[in-house]
Amino acid sequence: MQVHRTHKLIVTWDILLKHLSGGVLDDTWIEAGRKFLAKYKNELPSTCINVIPDLSVHQEAMHYDLRGKAPQGTIA
């Protein structure tokens, strides 16, 4: 949400991501969710567009081939 304020949104499906934690939906997780919602209540729901697109009209998107242009590594 903080990055959303100052940067352009880019979506890609070419990035390999490994999430090593199964996560735990406990009281700590619920409290963190409450804090997030309170902090960004004036910015939610969030979007990067000003106008809702007409889904009946096909719009071209720009595609970039990023395969092989970034090293793969593990962040621990």
Residue 3's pLDDT is what?
A: 81
Gap between the Cα atoms of 59 and 73, Å rounded: 35
Q: What is the DSSP string of 23-69?
A: ---SHHHHHHHHHHHHHTTTT-S--S-SS---TTS---------TTS
Q: Which domain holds residue 6?
A: 1-49+57-76
| Number of domains observed in the structure of the chain | 1
pTM equals: 0.48
pLDDT confidence tier of residue 72, bands split at 50, 70 and 90:
low
pLDDT of residue 28: 92
